[in-house]
Structure 1
Amino acid sequence: MNVERETVSVGEFEFACGESIPDLEVAYEAYGEFTGDNAVLLCHALTGSAHVASHREADDATAGQARAWWDDIVGPGKAIDTNDFYVVCANVPGSCYGTTGPASENPETGAPYGPDFPPVSVADWTEAQRRLLDELGVPHLHAIVGGSVGGMNVLEWAKRHPDHVDRIVPIATAARLDTQSLALHGIKRRAVLADPAYRGGEYYDREDRPTEGLAVARQIGHVMYLSKASMDRKFGRRSAGRDAQRTFPADPTAQYFPYRDVESYLDYQAETFVGRFDPNSFIYLTRATENYDLSAGFESDEDALGAFDGEALVMSFTGDWHFPVEQGEALADALRAAGAETAHHVIESDHGHDAFLVEPENVGPPLADFLAEGPEGSAITDTVEQSRDYAPVHNSLFGT
């Protein structure tokens, strides 16, 4: 598989907030050969990177991930077949995986931008990707695919550059966060801000980083990404065992009560995350997610998508309470009303929001068919009426 892994300067960049930086560098990976009409852009989730598929040149330390985040979907002979498509994934502005963000050096001061980095939005991610594709000589896209906030990124493309893409695949996403998700995002952000080591975002020259607050924020996120059923099945009420090592200090009652398997899992996930992600980037990217609203500047979601006359595949998961099926159907309705030929493929799964990352056997077939055939692909089921019957409340963190 032919692979490009580069960081490209797209020059001075003005963010949607009105602030500018003198040079935006965008880290990207590209797979396959560009033939003029076969480009597919992938949009990563909140803390993802450009490292989508495994390859010999991969440096996972640089990618910031233990493994390629969609390796089961992208590659030769896989759902997004790099023998057929030229696949590009760019790390978004504000991140810490190669593209310019708060931890990057400000050329005007020689120090990290820190909290002086401009606030970022999903619109900024879209424009940075458009600038990168211009540098790569890719004027038009066969498709754009993304999950979670990456799905919002996909929608923003259809809104801002409707003539630049033929097909879009927003997966496990919605036109905006609901109130419960906004609340949990706010708690995650407060966990970081309340860490004494955060110091208003000015911590890059200190040995003690705000890892404790970021660890708690990551744990809240992991609970959001799982469902009740998947947590019960994976952990139950089991004790973690005598050999389990606590990451966080034990409370005064710990000697009387078990350190549970689910606690150990969350502690491990938090410990690995804080070693690879920048707290300021976490703040910036969660803010971008929270403030995304597809209808911004328009009267409705339908109006925002009115200029897109391509084809769409919306994918939802029944166990996803972060972006429930009903939000996916509302998005599909807006696309249909805007005139886009649209299928809403609902996947029965009790895994939770992360199902789009860990269930390639369910995600791959409809995705491959859509890229090849459009909404009429044989593996695609447009469950318009069926999807209206799903009541995602029982999968919520506060449901029963």
Structure 2
Amino acid sequence: YLLAVGPSLGGMRSLEWVIAHPERVGAICTIGSSAVATADQIGAASIQIQAIKADPNFNGGDYYEQENGPIQGMAIARKIAHLTYRSEYEMDMRFGRDMQGDDTGRFAVESYLDHQGRKLQLRFDANTYICLTEAMNSHDIGRDRGGVAAALSGAQRPVVVVSIDTDRLFPVRLQEEIVELTPTALPLRQISSPFGHDGFLIEVERVGQIIRESLELTLSK
């Protein structure tokens, strides 16, 4: 492949590709990701898993023949996750302390998070959610390679690292670490966005520009 591109979990996978299979890629572009899952990330993710498993309809993961799966647990997990995906600044600017506008006495941000939970609970499988979350928790580029620094020092292909300045799930320091420890890394590319981690989904023009430039870099070699 000319270029392996990945944001978030995909960024973790692209790092694995450039270390484990350098002959398969011309370069990689990792966006809003890290070399290893942090305690903060694992902590937030573990609460999401607990919320799903605490739903009585989870039934130990064997819910496929039931009328309902763990949709309430999924909704709670999604609401927890969504807060980590967006920035504190955006949430406060959008909602502040505004009330929902009805007679429920609820804050507008609560209604917003309920909406996010409902969007996911019926279209995404709970066991798959748990599996992907645990995969992210287990990410460690340095496992069985002598540690993170040793693993990244062995990179043989260009590594483009992209950060989002308001990302609180994958803060900028994690991308700075990749650049610092990877001899083939280019200077850090930082996207300024109010949308936090989800900036990689929303800042389409900026992300697209960086990907195009990364492809041009690969083609030029």
Q: CA deviation at 1:353?
A: 0.5
CA distance in 2, matches of 1:269, 1:321: 19
Q: CA deviation at 1:334?
A: 1.8
Alignment correspondent of 1:312: 159
Cα–Cα, structure 1 residues 240 and 327, in superposed 2: closer, same or farther, change >3 Å? same
TM value normalised by structure 2: 0.94
Instruction: Answer whether contact 2:12 2:35 (CA < 8 A) is retained.
Output: yes
Match for 1:222: what amino acid?
H
| Equivalent residue runs for 1:210-229 within 5 Å | 210-229=70-89
CA distance in 1, matches of 2:95, 2:3: 38
Deviations 1:32-71 (A, max 9, x none): xxxxxxxxxxxxxxxxxxxxxxxxxxxxxxxxxxxxxxxx
CA distance in 1, matches of 2:73, 2:173: 33
Q: CA deviation at 1:324?
A: 0.7
Alignment correspondent of 1:162: 22
2:98 to 238, 245, 257: 238
| Equivalent residue runs for 1:125-274 within 5 Å | 141-242=1-102, 258-274=105-121
Instruction: Answer whether contact 1:163 1:308 (CA < 8 A) is retained.
Output: no
TM value normalised by structure 1: 0.53
1:373 to 200, 217, 221: 217
Alignment correspondent of 1:360: 204
| Equivalent residue runs for 1:45-194 within 5 Å | 141-194=1-54
1:295 to 119, 129, 142: 142
Deviations 1:242-298 (A, max 9, x none): 3xxxxxxxxxxxx6x622221111111111101100111111110111011000001
CA distance in 2, matches of 1:223, 1:366: 26
Considering only CA atoms, is the larger Rg found in Structure 1 or Structure 2? 1
CA distance in 2, matches of 1:198, 1:341: 43
- Where 1:203 maps in the other structure, the secondary structure is coil
CA distance in 1, matches of 2:17, 2:90: 33
Name structure 2 gaps, 5 residues minimum. none
Match for 1:232: what amino acid?
D
CA distance in 2, matches of 1:183, 1:306: 28
Q: CA deviation at 1:371?
A: 1.1
CA distance in 2, matches of 1:182, 1:222: 15
CA distance in 1, matches of 2:154, 2:89: 40
- Where 1:146 maps in the other structure, the secondary structure is strand
CA distance in 1, matches of 2:169, 2:185: 26
User: Greater relative contact order: 1 or 2 (C-alpha under 8 angstroms, separation 6 or more)?
Assistant: 2
Q: CA deviation at 1:208?
A: 2.2
Q: CA deviation at 1:343?
A: 2.6
Instruction: Answer whether contact 1:315 1:347 (CA < 8 A) is retained.
Output: yes
